[in-house]
């Protein structure tokens, strides 16, 4: 196996300026993981903000209760209230399938005016009252 590593090291060193020890370390790591190049489960920086408790808390603040629409908070207000960054709030909302929609002004829906009586109807009404 060591001879194979040496051959790999020589071919890779020609393509890039890698040290031979780096290639040996990579081969040893692959061999130790059973031929897999995937990271070990649980390796890396642990999540501190996107915990399940924080995600539930943020989701409750971002969603309005069904019977009281319009009582939800914006991402900026949730971030200042919880101490979680605004970008983390956005990521949590994305994970939960929520969207931030901006309120926009739209034109007022016209209410139909009451029809005025025509001249003819007015004359008829006045005639009826004067009789």
Residue 18 has a pLDDT of: 74
Domain ranges, ordered by start, for the chain? 2-32, 52-96
Which two three-digit tokens encode residue 100? Answer: 């931030």
Tell me: pLDDT of 117 over 80: no
What confidence tens digit (pLDDT) does each residue in 17-34 have? Answer: 777 788 788 888 888 878
CA 36 to chain centre: 32
Q: Give the whole-angstrom CA distance, residue 60 versus residue 93.
A: 11
Tell me: pLDDT of 40 over 90: no
Contact criterion met (CB below 8 Å) for 86 and 95: no
């Amino acid at each position: 196996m060591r001879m194979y590593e040496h051959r790999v090291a020589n071919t890779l060193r020609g393509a890039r300026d890698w040290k031979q020890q780096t290639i040996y370390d990579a081969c040893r790591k692959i061999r130790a993981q059973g031929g897999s190049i995937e990271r070990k489960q649980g390796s890396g920086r642990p999540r501190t903000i996107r915990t399940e408790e924080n995600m539930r808390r943020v989701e409750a603040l971002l969603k309005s209760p069904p019977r009281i629409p319009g009582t939800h908070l914006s991402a900026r207000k949730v971030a200042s209230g919880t101490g979680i960054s605004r970008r983390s709030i956005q990521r949590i909302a994305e994970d939960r399938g929520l969207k931030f929609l901006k309120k926009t002004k739209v034109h007022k829906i016209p209410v139909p005016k009451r029809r005025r009586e025509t001249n003819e109807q007015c004359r008829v009404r006045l005639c009826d009252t004067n009789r």
